[in-house]
Amino acid sequence: MGGFFGTISTKDCVNDLFYGTDYHSHLGTKRAGLVTFDKERGFSRAIHSLERDYFRSKFEDELSDFCGTEGIGVISDTDPQPIIVNSHLGRYAVVTVAKINNQREIADELLSLRMHLSEQSANKINQTELVALLINMGNSFLDGINRVYQKIKGSCSMLILTENGLIAARDFLGRTPIVIGHKEWKDENGTDHKAYAIASETTSFPNLGFKPMRDLGPAEIVKITTDGVEVLQPAFKRCQICSFLWVYYGFPASTYEGINTEAVRERNGKMMGEKDDVEADLVCGIPDSGVGMALGYAEGKGIPYKRAVLKYTPTWPRSFTPGNQSRRDLVAKMKLIPNEALLKDQRVVFCDDSIVRGTQLRDNVKEFFENGAKEVHVRISCPPLVYGCPFIGFTASKSDLELITRRIIRDFEGDDKAKLDKYAESDSPEYQRMVSEIGRRLGLSSLKFARLEDLVASIGLPKSHVCTHCFDGSSYDQDQGGEFFG
């Protein structure tokens, strides 16, 4: 997925930039970058790998190398960024949260125009540089960003650091969020100061003193200086914000479109608990994103919530992968520790956000039984993932066949693409057979998924405003939105 944070202030912004970016660490595992601008020193930039370490330990020792009153940072699941660019638009830096499916096609077109690509990541195109080249083809930043919207297939939100302010542009259909924050304070001399922040996660605001102002709308483009926020392009009406923000990768304290993540998870769990007829002694959330659902389920079902499994990750960076397979297995086990005292002889409902491949959950279920659980029931906060996501990289899956649903459909039908609409329909015989088989393969006493209408209701936005493509294959095409200004 990835996330970014930018800020502009009447005072030095480095501390806010560092910690604000760090608050997005749950969104990416590959690389991180910071860049600041100072009128005397110009741009200062650093990029580090996060694959074997944490953001803070990588950047903390070099913070003294940064200075300036404006800057942007990124936690990336894709390429090294920020990219610093010299162009006819001036010198600027850019970061993106994007999934561009037609990179090669765009790159070939640019090369045919005698433009060049210099940034490479594992011999692959750096999509942030690709975005920068498209921006450079415009007569202005506004024109260039709209070229990005017109050219790419997928999604792209971006932050641009110029020599006189920040520019933020939300994805054409609003698939990924951007929120603006503001703060005012007096320094030790009584001088008034103010700052703006712009981020993927509102979680980055409270401890830095920022108050959320508003979300950017789909395709909205703004310029931010210490004087305020200037709208360069108003929002489009059509929206397809990713529902998985609330299901999985959003931080519990964050709010998107004015809707809090944890509140959605609790509402969703309560709906399922009220309808579920299973007999159970307790409910437990699979940490972290299953906890909110489990709390709601406990309320709706009227059974106690207990921490029958706990998360333990302080010794390992979240993406660290040892070279030895036996060590990899042990690291995977370290993350969740069953509490035998609470599991023994109990009928337990475990709530989790989703099932992608099913491998980790299968191993967890085996351990729950080994630690004395009498029954293990699993409740999932979203419908089965039947379609791969072409818009946001929320998993590392490179093929739809990595989804347990598609492997089962292939086994049933001889073709993993057969009757997908039926397998995505929660009342169909195909759906019931698929869910039963998932439960059997994972060794569960029972398995149920949230219904799509309940997930949408728990979010509280109209179905037409929320992307549910991975569940039901529905989504608006990107090229449909141009006339829908709000």
Q: pLDDT tens-digit profile of 398-415? A: 689 999 999 999 999 999
Give the Cα separation of 390 and 338 in Å (integer): 35
- Rounded CA gap, 302 and 297, in Å? 8
pLDDT band at 483 (very low <50, low <70, confident <90, very high): very low
Global pTM reads 0.92
Per-residue model confidence (pLDDT) at position 399: 84
Domain residue extents for the chain = 3-236, 264-472
Report the CATH architecture of 3-236: 4-Layer Sandwich (3.60)
Average pLDDT on 285-314 reads 93
Residue 39 pLDDT exceeds 80: yes
pLDDT of residue 8: 98
Residue 340: what pLDDT? 96
Please give the class, per CATH, of domain 264-472.
alpha beta
Structure tokens at 340: 């035998």
137-146, 211-220, 297-306, 354-363: least confidently modelled range: 354-363
**Residue 442: pLDDT band with limits 50, 70, 90:** very high
Instruction: State the pLDDT confidence band at 333, using cuts at 50, 70 and 90.
Output: low
At 117 the pLDDT is 80
Least confident of 10-14, 280-284, 313-317: 313-317
Q: Tell me, letter by letter, the H, E, C secondary structure of 407-430.
A: HHHHHHHCCCCCCHHHHCCCCCHH
For residue 361, count CB atoms less than 10 angstroms from its CB and return exposed for 0-12, middle for 13-18, buried for 19 or more.
Answer: buried
Alpha helices in 317-378 (DSSP H): 325-334, 340-343, 359-370
At residue 325, the pLDDT reads: 55
Task: List, for residues 67-103, the tens digit of each pLDDT value.
Answer: 999 999 999 988 899 999 999 999 999 999 999 999 9
CB count in 10 Å sphere of residue 91: 14
d(CA 265, CA 296): 7
Q: What is the pLDDT of residue 393?
A: 77
* pLDDT for 374 beyond 70: yes
- Between these two residues, 123 and 261, which has the higher pLDDT value? 261
d(CA 39, CA 57): 28
Over range 451-458, report the average pLDDT. Answer: 98
Judge whether residue 205 has pLDDT over 90. yes
pLDDT band with cut points at 50, 70 and 90 for residue 481: very low
Residue partners of 131: CB distance under 8 A and separation at least 6: 94, 96, 98, 100, 148, 152, 156, 158
Residue 36, pLDDT above cutoff 60: yes
Report the DSSP beta bridge partners of residue 338: 309
